[in-house]
Chains A and B, each alone.
Chain A
Amino acid sequence: MTDAARAPRVAIAVFPGTWSERDFAHVVESVLGWEARLVWHADDDLGAPDAVVLPGGFAHGDHLRTGAIARFSPIMRSVEAFAVAGGPVIGSCNGFQVLTEAGMLPGALLRNDHLEFRCEWQSLRVERPGSCSVWFGDMADGDLIRLPISHGEGRYVADEATLDMLERDGRVVLRYADADGRVTDEANPNGSQRGIAGIVNERGNVLGLMPHPERASEAEIGGTDGLRFLRSLERWLQEQPAAAERRLSSG
């Protein structure tokens, strides 16, 4: 048993057109000293990971709809099974779009209301993170974090009943906010309904968010708020005897 054997192992899905997988792998390996494994979309073996990342990009060219074709890639069967078993899954940007198309999260992400691609730093308000201790254990209700966004199709849409349900159950965990933490139309970069930037599944182990945590993980490039998701994951894994056991026995 070595420290290396205890390091969390993160599987990162790579579709044709994915572009954030190496940034995520860099953060996982070089910033945190964990183990990252890139998994090609046609491969359904995730390699017994502690968590799965669906990174940003343009999977399968985003043809038809963002994420619409990616959901049929063989790897998604394994990702769904992993999530159903309670495994931590994070989908950022295009990964969020894939999760909604796959039906693993409700709603859909449509063309930004102003039709422009937005690539900029964005303030986000953390809400009721207790519903998602996997990814938010290191954050508190009302925390303001800054992450880059980089998307042309991030307008979150769902019917009113679904939106009400998500809010009632504490599943809206991130909203676009201004520098003072106010959720306003002006602070909303894409026209998302109710300023929604990130939601979780019913169980709280699957998180979809439009911003890019991996691009805010080193002070040298502008901020480290993105690391808080992975620090939360680390804490959660340590609190899971089964997951810890798995890492020890496989290490």
Chain B
Amino acid sequence: MGGIGLTMRWLAEVHVALRSGIADPEGQSIGSALRALGYPTVSEVRSGKLMRIAFEADDSDAAEAAVEEMCRRLLANPVMETASWELRADEQQDVEAANP
């Protein structure tokens, strides 16, 4: 990461989802449960993962590049998943505090 004094804290919310066309039995099961609970108009549920990642980077370009690399190297398997994320400067300083 960057030099002392320049570094900023960032918070990334990474969403990992199964690619369209890949069957999602968990999502289907959740959808069935919702319909059984009295929500007959639920037509589809797709499940996925949400990861909140607190980290440091010098600027928004570096932070964006870091998240892209994290997704590519570990967080999503491109064979069956896609990753998207939202990135913001982290004023709350830690992941726990960011949880509602």
CB within 8 Å of B: which residues of A? Answer: 64-65, 68-69, 72, 100-101, 106-108, 110-115, 155, 157-159, 191
Out of B26, B29, B74, B79, which one reaches A107, CB within 8 Å?
Answer: B79
Interface presence of B22 (CB below 8 A): yes
Contact, CB under 8 Å: A158 / B79: yes
Which B9-27 residues have a C-beta within 8 angstroms of A? 18, 22-23, 25-26
Contact, CB under 8 Å: B74 / A100: no
CA distance A68 to B74 in the complex (A): 7
A100 to chain B: which residues have CB within 8 Å? 79
Closest 8 CB pairs of A and B: A108-B79, A108-B80, A113-B25, A115-B25, A157-B80, A108-B77, A65-B77, A111-B25
* Given A64-B74, A68-B74: A113 touches B79 (CB 8 Å cut-off): no
| Interface size class, chain B | 10 to 19
Q: Do most interface residues of chain A lie in helix, strand or loop, or is the interface mixed?
A: loop
CB within 8 Å of A: which residues of B? Answer: 18, 22-23, 25-26, 29, 74-75, 77, 79-80
* Given A64-B74, A68-B74: A157 touches B79 (CB 8 Å cut-off): yes
Distance to closest chain A CB from B25 (angstroms): 5
Contact, CB under 8 Å: A64 / B80: no
Contact, CB under 8 Å: A157 / B22: yes
B80 to chain A: which residues have CB within 8 Å? 108, 110, 157
